[in-house]
Amino acid sequence: MRPFTSWPRVKKQSVQLIVFFLLATLSLQAQISQPRIDSILQAYSAIHQFNGSALVIQQDKTVYEKSLGYQDAASKRLLTQNSIFQIGSLTKSFTAVLILKLAQQNKLSLSDPISTYLPDYPRGNEIRIKHLLTNSGGIYEKFRKPTFYNQLRSTHPFSTEEMLAFFSQEPLDFDPGTQFSYSNSGFDLLGIIIEKVTGSSYAQAMHSYIFKPLNMTSSGFDFSRLSNDNKTTPYAYLSSTKQIDVKAWNASLTFSSGGLYSSTRDLQKFYQGLTEFKLISKEALDQATTPFLGGYGFGWYIDSLQGDRVIDHGGNVEGSTSYFLMMPERQTCIILLANITSTSLEKVGNSIYAALQNKPYRIPQSKREIQLTEQSLLNYVGRFEVSTHYQVGITKEAGKLVMKLNDEPKMTLLAEGEDLFFIDDSDMILEFIRKGGKIDQVRIRQGLTTKVADKKE
């Protein structure tokens, strides 16, 4: 039997061996995950649904970091991990964290009615800060108003009063705290409250309280005014044969619900700042990531993925898309930024998470045309009307359906399935809606917009 004095040495060797095997296992997992993640991103890139940067963290180590596509297609400049993107509604997570930080400093209370900061806001004594954070304030959604949407590409700097005019006088959709309804307007009110409490602009407050402490040097507010070699060009659609670039939306209108920009590496610093409690306490983060209504906490969705509880948020503005997922218990974070309008980025992130967990995931395929009978094609022929100013004409020419929108050039429709059509090298999809067995409407989806047209006999 070994003398007692030798036991500490044996234990130390055992611990070293365990650590060695643990590190070897993590390294093997990373090696296995990398090609899987790469295959997912390459597949979405091939169907023009990913042009951007990805950063994946597991066990708090970067296991994947790559950029695919163009930062600027005209100059053939490729994306890098330093490329800067608009993050859209991921801004809401930052706004929520800043509100929680101010609450932690006793500069406001989540139970405060918004009338404390906006005395004239209708029913402001009933709407509390926590209602805005949880999208349960019943605030009218500004994007429902055509006059707001039409101003998004303008360069006019809207004042707080002008921005409020788009939604403040509209009736609440429901009594505060009783339902969930995603509200950009509600998060804009939080930005105004931040300005009132800090005495500085939203942009300055975000820099002082979050960006500067975390050394997030590639993040800021108002993408259109950014002058930086790493700035991405936003695209509505981007392929090898077609590039449709778009203007960044007016930041004085997207404001604290969608006006920030960042990079993958800066967002990694944000993740570390949250999980290491450099910004807010563990108690505050736990509160923020506890669902209230509709699976939404304070600026975060709380979802279930592969049997795990994950915390995530996405963002989508015209020409840019973001997705941020974290699973603190597994020390995992997935950051995806794209400079194209994409409705698939969350699917990309979910597939990457499945790959990390060695679970099944789907690799997307290019759309394939199927052949419909001549009689079937004739069922779709007709004139459809969105409004008196927007007409859709469907005709049949040389065995194909052809669509004409107002005075735009004709476009050939390809059948993907019964009642479902697409246009080659485009993100436009047409879905025909039947009523009583007959075609009654056509739903046209392109990028972020959806138009429904009624059939006119």
The pLDDT confidence band at residue 409, using thresholds 50, 70 and 90, is: confident
Instruction: In whole angstroms, give the CA distance from residue 189 to residue 366.
Output: 42
Two tokens, residue 81 = 């991990």
Mention the CATH class of domain 374-456.
Answer: mainly beta
- pTM above threshold 0.85: yes
Instruction: In whole angstroms, give the CA distance from residue 191 to residue 205.
Output: 10
Per residue in 339-387, pLDDT (tens digit) is: 999 889 999 999 999 999 999 999 988 888 899 998 899 999 999 988 8
The mean per-residue pLDDT over the stretch 265-270 comes to: 98
The pLDDT confidence band at residue 8, using thresholds 50, 70 and 90, is: very low
pLDDT at position 21, please? 47
Q: What is the CA radius of gyration of the chain?
A: 25
Look-up: residue for tokens 């979050």? 210
Per residue in 173-223, pLDDT (tens digit) is: 999 999 999 999 999 999 999 999 999 999 999 999 999 999 999 999 999
pLDDT at position 366, please? 86
DSSP 8-class letter at 293: B
pLDDT at position 31, please? 60
- Which is it for the CA torsion 283, 299, 258, 317, positive or negative? positive
HSE at residue 446, side-chain half, CA atoms within 13 A, is: 16
Per residue in 133-182, pLDDT (tens digit) is: 999 999 999 999 999 989 999 999 999 999 999 999 999 999 999 999 99
- Beta-strand ranges (E) seen in 372-410 are 382-387, 390-397, 400-405
How many beta carbons lie within 10 A of that of residue 82, not counting itself?
16
126-130, 272-276, 447-451: least confidently modelled range = 447-451
289 has a pLDDT exceeding 80:
yes
Describe the crossing of helices 184-198 and 91-104 by its angle, rounded to 10 degrees.
40
80 near 232, Cβ under 8 Å? no
26 has a pLDDT exceeding 80:
no
Instruction: In whole angstroms, give the CA distance from residue 22 to residue 59.
Output: 11
- DSSP for 22-73? HHHHHHHHHHHHHHHHHHHHHHHHHTTS--EEEEEEETTEEEEEEEESEEET
Sequence spans of domains, the chain: 62-356, 374-456
pLDDT at position 157, please? 95
88 near 317, Cβ under 8 Å? yes
Instruction: In whole angstroms, give the CA distance from residue 131 to residue 149.
Output: 25
Helix (H, G, I), strand (E, B) or coil at 77: strand
Domains 62-356 and 374-456 share a fold: no
pLDDT at position 116, please? 98
pLDDT at position 83, please? 98
Q: What is the mean pLDDT of the chain?
A: 91
Please name every residue paired with 445 in a beta bridge, in sequence order, or none if there are none: 429, 450
Percentage of the chain modeled with pLDDT above 90:
77
The mean per-residue pLDDT over the stretch 8-27 comes to: 49
pLDDT at position 29, please? 52
How many beta carbons lie within 10 A of that of residue 336, not counting itself?
27
The pLDDT confidence band at residue 457, using thresholds 50, 70 and 90, is: low
Per residue in 326-343, pLDDT (tens digit) is: 999 999 999 999 999 988
Decide which of 3.50.50.60, 3.40.50.300, 3.40.710.10, 3.30.565.10 is the CATH code for 62-356.
3.40.710.10
449 has a pLDDT exceeding 90:
no
pLDDT at position 14, please? 55
- DSSP for 92-153? HHHHHHHHHHHHHTTS--TT-BGGGT-TTSTTTTT-BHHHHHTT-S-PPPGGGSHHHHHTTT
Instruction: In whole angstroms, give the CA distance from residue 438 to residue 251.
Output: 44
- DSSP for 196-250? HHHSS-HHHHHIIIIITTTT-TT-EE-GGG---TTBPPPEEEE-SS-EEE-PPP-
71 near 77, Cβ under 8 Å? yes
